[in-house]
Amino acid sequence: GIRVLQPVLHCSKEGWIIDLRRLNRSVMKLKFKMLTVKQVVSQIRSEDWFVTIDLKDAYFHVSILPQHRKFLRFAFRGEAYQYQVLPFGLALSPRTFTKCVDAALVPLPLQGIRILNYIDDWLILAASESLAARHRDVVLAHMKALGLRLNAKKSVLSPSQRTTYLGVVWDSTTMQARLSPARIESILAAVKRVKEGRSLTVKQFQQLLGLMAAASNVIPFGLLYMRPLQWWLKSKGFSPRGNPLRMIKVTRRGLRALDMWRKPWFLNQGPVLGARCRRVTLATDASLTGWGAVMSGRSARGLWSGRHLSWHINCLEMLAVFRALKYFLPDLRDRHVLMRTDSTAVVYYINHQGGLRSRPLYKLAHQILVWSQDKLLSLRAVHIPGHLNVGADVLSRQGPRPGEWMLHPEVVEQIWEIFGPAQVDLFATRENTQFHPAPLGLDAMVQTWPRLGLYAFPRIALLPGVLER
C-alpha cells in the first residue's frame, strides 16, 4: 500500500510550508548540471546588452503524471491530499524543472538567441540594444505559447549593459562582475555576529561557510581566505554532520580567520568577464632528490636542500610548482598559467585554493596563491599521468636537459641508409653527438654552416630559426 506522510509544517510570512525532508530521505539522488557563475563569465562579450526574465511559480508549470501523484500524498487534519504539480521542497524538483526548461529553450539558440537559464531565472544576451529587445519579444512569445507565466516584478525587460543575475552584478562596459550589494550586506552582517568570547551554534557557522563558499564563485581568492576559518573550526571538532545546536566559543584565532571578510574592497572583487584566452603551459615534477620543469622547450631544475629531504612527496611536488613559477616568472607575468603535474593532491590544492587534509600542503598552496595574486592573471592545474610527464620527471632526477637528448642510434642508422651519412652534427654536445669528429658546437645558430652533409636535432624552441636558415 501507499504510505501517507504526516507533514511537518512551518509557518512563514507567506503562510504554511510543508517540510518534505522526510520524503527526500527516501528519494533517489540524481545528479544534473546547473548553470554556474563561471559559465556566465565566459559567455559575456564586451558591450553586450542584457534582459533578465523570472518565471512565476516556476515548479507549478510541471504537472505530475496522474498515476504518480499517489507518491506525493500527505495528510493534514484528517484529510489526505496529493500534489498535482511539481512541489517546492522536493529534492528532485530542481532537476526535473531544469530538464524541462532545457528542452523548452532548444529552439531559441537555433534562431541566434543567446539565453542562459538557472531554474526560473533566465538571462538574454545580445550585441546591441535593439537586438536584445527583439530577442526579448521572441522569448516572451515563446513562453506564452508554452504556458509559462512571467514574474514581471522580478524581471528586467528593458535592455541594459549592467544587470543583476544570480546575485551578481554584471557590467559589459567594464567587463567586470561583483557580488550584488544585498549579498555583500548579508556576508558583513553574518561576520559581524562572530565576536571573541561569544558562542555560536554549528548551524550558524554552517550558514556563514555557505555564504562564503557561494561568494567564492565570484571573489577570485574567496576560497583561499575561507580556509583559515575552516581550519579553526576543524580544531574545535566542527562537523557538518554533527549536532547543529552544539555551541562553539569564538577565540581570537577564530576572529582573525575572518579578517579579510570584513573588508568591503575584498568583497567587491570579481572576475574579468569574457572567454578565457589561451593559457601558458608549464609542466613540473619532483623526486626525493630534486625538481624539474619544462616550458615551451626550455627547462629548469634544482636539488633539494637538507631540510627538504624529509618532506612528504606531495609537499615536494607543490614546492616544485613554486620553484618553477619563480624561475619562469619573466615569461609568465600577467598571463593565464596552466600547471601540469602528476600529483593529484597538488592539482586539488591549487584549484581549490587549499584543503583540509594536509596542513603543510595547505600552507605551501597558500604561499603560492598569495604570491601569484599580483603577478599572474590566473593559475590553474591539471593532472598529467606520470608516463606522459617525461621531461619534468627526468629533470627532477637530475637527468639530461631536453636540449641534451638524442635520437636512438638505430633510428639514426635508418636515416643514414636513406640519405647517406652526415658529416657535421649541428646541435649536439660531445656527450650526445651521433658521430665523430666533434659536432659543430653548442650554438650552431651563430656559426656558418659548411656545405657538407648536415645533421640537426635541435630543441623545439630553435625550430623556427633552423627552418628560416
DSSP per-residue codes, 47-101: T-EEEEEEBSSGGGGSBPPGGGGGGGEEEETTEEEE-SBPPTT-TTHHHHHHHHH
Q: Is the pLDDT of residue 394 over 50?
A: yes
Cite the beta strand spans of 32-113 per DSSP E. 49-54, 73-76, 79-82
Query: Quick one: 297 and 187 in the same domain?
Result: no
Least confident piece of the model among 4-13, 82-91, 104-113, 184-193: 4-13
> pLDDT, tens digit, for every residue of 235-292?
999 988 889 999 999 999 999 999 999 999 999 999 999 887 778 999 999 999 999 9
Whole-angstrom Cα distance, residue 131 to residue 153?
23
Model pLDDT, residue 7: 56
- In-domain check, residue 357: yes
Query: Quick one: 384 and 452 in the same domain?
Result: no
Could you tell me the three cell numbers for 51?
A: 534582459
Query: Quick one: 294 and 336 in the same domain?
Result: yes
Query: Quick one: 46 and 158 in the same domain?
Result: yes
Whole-angstrom Cα distance, residue 212 to residue 334?
27
Whole-angstrom Cα distance, residue 426 to residue 444?
6
Range of the domain at 215: 179-267
Model pLDDT, residue 442: 47
- In-domain check, residue 408: no
What integer is the mean pLDDT of 25-29? 87
Q: Is the pLDDT of residue 431 over 70?
A: no
- To the question of pTM greater than 0.75 for the whole model, the response is yes
Whole-angstrom Cα distance, residue 123 to residue 101?
13
Q: What is the CATH number of the domain that holds 381?
A: 3.30.420.10
pLDDT range class, residue 445, cuts 50, 70, 90: low
Could you tell me the three cell numbers for 441?
A: 658546437
What integer is the mean pLDDT of 10-16? 58
Peptide bond into 244 cis (omega under 30): no
Model pLDDT, residue 167: 96
- In-domain check, residue 65: yes
Q: Is the pLDDT of residue 100 over 90?
A: yes
| CB 305, CB 326: distance < 8 Å | no
Model pLDDT, residue 11: 54
Q: What average pLDDT does the chain have?
A: 89
Q: What is the CATH number of the domain that holds 121?
A: 3.30.70.270
Query: Quick one: 440 and 360 in the same domain?
Result: no
Where do runs of H (alpha helix) occur along 147-226?
Answer: 181-192, 202-215
Residue written as grid cell 636558415? 469
